[in-house]
Structure 1
Amino acid sequence: MSVAIVLLAASAAVLLLLHANLERTIETGAREQAQAVARLAADGRLPPQLPLDHGTDFIQVTDSSGKVVAASQNLIGRPPLTPSTAKDGHDTYDLDILGDEHHQRVTTLTADTPTGLVTIRVGASLHTADTAEDLTTAALVGLSAVLLPTVGVLTWRATGRALRPVEAIRTEVAAIGDRDLDRRVPEPGSDDEIARLADTMNAMLDRLEAAGIRQRRFIADASHELRSPLTVLRTQLEIALTYPHPDVRTDLVAGALQDTERLQTLANDLLLLARLDTTGHDRPDDAVDLTELVRTSADSGVPQPHPVALHTPEEITVTGNPLWLGRLLTNLLDNAQRHARRRVTVRLSTDSMTGDAVLDVSNDGPLVDPADRERIFERFTRLDHARSRDDGGTGLGLSIARDIAAIHGGTLTVEDTPDGTTFRTRLPLAQA
């Protein structure tokens, strides 16, 4: 449809330009003929019979009284021509006296002669222009009749060929279910938008597959973590029913209460992780005095196994959620206390190059192997030489801390520093 409209517009433009150019050429010739006759009349040398130039059909000269004083051979003895109507800005004349129907363009001039004013009328035939227009119209119609089907077929084939990879991608995506995330869409060997679409789709499927794997692993690990304290709790309760001795029952109830607290802690951690996962990229925007928060978290009033050495400036403000940032600090401090031998060090500073607040929580315990520095942030990960299920850890603290840092636009990494194993948190400073 678009091609047909373009062809129609182009054909109309060509015909209009051709028509205007041919008529202008014919009118120019007729005017030159009339001007030549006018010069003869002005010089008093006007002959009774005037010769016709090529492309001129007739000439007639009349005086002020309407009498014919000169004419071309085909109008000798004919009455003066009189205009009948005005059409397109040009006078039209009844030219049946010429014996045929003529499409004429008549040019009229007046000239001053020794005997008075005369009117000169020169008629130029438009037959050549009409013929050229008819031939051009027929050629354009024939060309359009051939070109439109050809363009339609070529467009259909080219579009089908171009969209074939898209259809293959659509078919493959439609066939991928929640259990087939290992499948990938076919990638064409070209370097165009379709190839980039396929690459983007496969990258998205990679992320979905990785997310699915993490989710299944998380569910399996959570089930395992919940099963152990539930099994112990049930065993303790069964023994308490079997052996009703007060001393035995008291010890069993105390153990059951400890396992219940562990279950409660684990459930709270799982709920917090679920909230962090659903928060997405909506960064909290409260102004938080990070210096005061660090001091409050380090001096909680609860006795700790190792002393905490604080190195904090006067005031550093970040943007975020104070409760979540407090949980990040608590998790890092708890982790440091579990691994420290004698001391825990907390340093808070700013990085003028990046505009970040830098929080270092260090312990002088065993260093983390470089191969494990990413794995320790995975959920339910416990290194063999580090945490155990009996020391109160759920295996979620560092994962929660890193998620909180990421939600606040920051990072959490583990490094070796002079203070020992250091967990370094970077958070953007609040804008002034």
Structure 2
Amino acid sequence: MTIRSDPGEPAADPVPSRSPLLRLAWHRARTVRARLVPGSVRARATFAACSVVAVALTGASLALLGLLHTDLRATAEQGAREQAEAVARLAADGQLTRLLPLTHGTDFVQVVDASGRVLATSQNIAGRPALAPRAAPGPGPAAWDLRPLGVELHQQVTTVVATAPDGQVVVHAGVSLRAADAAESTTAFTLVLGCPLLLLTVAFVTWRVTGRALRPVEAIRAQVAAIGEQALHHRVPIPRGNDEIVRLATTMNAMLDRLDVAGRRQRQFIADASHELRSPIAVLRTQLEVALAHPDPEVRTDLLEGALEDTDRLQSLAADLLLLARLDAGAVERPTRPVDLAEIVRGTVLSLGNEPHRVTLDLQEEVLVLGNRQWLVRLATNLVVNAQRHARHTITVRVYADADPRTSVLEVHNDGPAIRPSDRHRIFERFTRLDDARSRDHGGTGLGLPIALDIAQHHGGTVAVVDSPRGATFQARFPAGGHAV
């Protein structure tokens, strides 16, 4: 068998390509099936409910008719047997009379001897021949030819054998099944009319209830479809109650909150980055153009040195932007190994040196953090460089373990200007400078503190400005780690 598979099709066609008629029939069957299967959730739910109820009603109706048929015939057979057994007792006692009385519900009684002679009979079939089996008797008690008796053809006939003084006799008793047939017909007619009505009621109720239940979902879908990139502040309606749809709407609004925050942050970041890149690029271009046109080699050298400094600043800014992009995208793995925070801070301060201000260390040994050594070095570097930029004379760096709660703490204090409480949150926003001119003169990009905050949050910690008697104190807190590796 050859199966053709086209890259553009979702699955290989299981019909042999060498059989065009089979392929045509297969595709037509798939088309018909696709048209018959409901497309919406509401229609599928209604179809499924109706299918289940239809199967249940069919099974219940057949079972009811079967039980009714069995019960009615068992009742008729019991009445006929009681009449036959009563006559059999009379025969056994030798008290048979030519005409026998009928009990309530019995249609006829006939007593026949072994030679086929009628010994006794009920008044309504007196003079009739003996009851005989059909020429081709079928199974069951109704396989008798009742036409010679002149009674209804649909009878429940019960036969009892008794021993009379003159020998064995056979007692036949018959009961009409007209009432049973009428009851079965009435029940079947009621089921034929009632089941479709019940099925239509189930379909109607399921359609209405499903539509009412899915109405909030459709409202959520329409609202989400109407929300564009510039309308992320809109939210989906939350219906009343505490069901799955309410939780879906709440989750959708939470997702829209995150998208809105991310979108505004991205737009602000792009605007700030464009602004920050525009100025050094314009200055660099001006320096290069002037250097290219200036005839004095010494002036040209100074201009090129300035251009090199601006190039370094652009390179540093680009590196910071890439790092922030990685942190925002979650490209940095969650740290799982304990590292010594005191050792990291000591190495960072030694590499930076004491220029332009002296750095005093107060380090508690074995202060462990579950962290990435490279990113923690970057965090410590940014905090110390920020302190160097704003300090007047001295900088103090402390590392200690806080027992309540179990936290590792890094504090960087400088004796420069204090930070107002209203600015303590704003300085961690990207490209924010409280003293813009001074920060530009010292080469700051406005990304050092935001990078430090993102690294701390990536480690499950925080960075904040805390109260101090004078100057400014930055405090980074991390969950304490285990044992150093």
Per the normalisation by structure 2, the TM-score is 0.73
Residue matched to 2:321: 270
| 1:11-410 mapped onto 2 (5 Å cutoff) | 11-63=61-113, 67-76=117-126, 77-82=128-133, 85-87=137-139, 90=141, 92-99=143-150, 101-112=152-163, 117-186=168-237, 193-241=244-292, 243-279=294-330, 283-284=333-334, 287-291=337-341, 294-295=344-345, 297-304=347-354, 305-314=357-366, 316=368, 318=370, 321-340=372-391, 342-349=394-401, 358-365=408-415, 368-384=419-435, 388-408=439-459, 410=460
Q: Which segments of 5 or more consecutive residues in structure 1 lack a partner in the other structure? A: none
Deviations 1:10-47 (A, max 9, x none): 43343333333323333333333344344444544444
Q: Which segments of 5 or more consecutive residues in structure 2 lack a partner in the other structure? A: 1-46
Tell me, yes or no, if the aligned pair for 1:313 and 1:349 is still in contact at 8 Å.
no
Change in Cα spacing, 1:133 to 1:269, as seen in structure 2 (3 Å) is same
Q: What amino acid maps onto 2:398 in structure 1? A: V
Tell me, yes or no, if the aligned pair for 2:348 and 2:377 is still in contact at 8 Å.
no
Change in Cα spacing, 1:105 to 1:348, as seen in structure 2 (3 Å) is farther
Tell me, yes or no, if the aligned pair for 1:348 and 1:360 is still in contact at 8 Å.
yes
Change in Cα spacing, 1:124 to 1:359, as seen in structure 2 (3 Å) is farther
Q: Give the CA deviation at 1:79.
A: 1.2
Change in Cα spacing, 1:121 to 1:388, as seen in structure 2 (3 Å) is farther
Q: Matched residues in 1 for 2:171 and 2:403: separation?
A: 97
More deviation in 146-155 or 122-131? 146-155
Deviations 1:297-350 (A, max 9, x none): 4354331333242434437362x5443343233333433444555233332437
Tell me, yes or no, if the aligned pair for 2:100 and 2:109 is still in contact at 8 Å.
yes
Deviations 1:46-83 (A, max 9, x none): 44443333332333344556554444334444314437
Q: Matched residues in 2 for 1:351 and 1:98: separation?
A: 110
Q: Matched residues in 1 for 2:109 and 2:404: separation?
A: 97
Tell me, yes or no, if the aligned pair for 1:95 and 1:102 is still in contact at 8 Å.
yes
Change in Cα spacing, 1:150 to 1:250, as seen in structure 2 (3 Å) is same
Q: Select the structure that is richer in strand.
A: 1
Q: Secondary structure at the match of 2:334?
A: coil
Q: Secondary structure at the match of 1:269?
A: helix
Change in Cα spacing, 1:26 to 1:369, as seen in structure 2 (3 Å) is farther
Change in Cα spacing, 1:25 to 1:79, as seen in structure 2 (3 Å) is closer
Residue matched to 2:28: none
Residue matched to 1:411: 461
Q: Give the CA deviation at 1:139.
A: 1.8
Residue matched to 2:41: none
Q: Secondary structure at the match of 2:361?
A: strand
Residue matched to 2:10: none
Q: Matched residues in 1 for 2:164 and 2:426: separation?
A: 113
Q: Secondary structure at the match of 1:389?
A: helix
Q: Secondary structure at the match of 2:394?
A: coil
Per the normalisation by structure 1, the TM-score is 0.81
In percent, how many aligned pairs have the same letter?
A: 51
Q: Matched residues in 2 for 1:60 and 1:431: separation?
A: 106
CA RMSD of aligned residues (A): 3.7
Deviations 1:66-108 (A, max 9, x none): 5544443344443144375444x65622222343553333334
Tell me, yes or no, if the aligned pair for 1:368 and 1:421 is still in contact at 8 Å.
no
Q: What amino acid maps onto 2:129 in structure 1? A: R
Q: Matched residues in 2 for 1:370 and 1:81: separation?
A: 116
Q: Secondary structure at the match of 1:265?
A: helix
Q: What amino acid maps onto 1:345 in structure 2? A: V
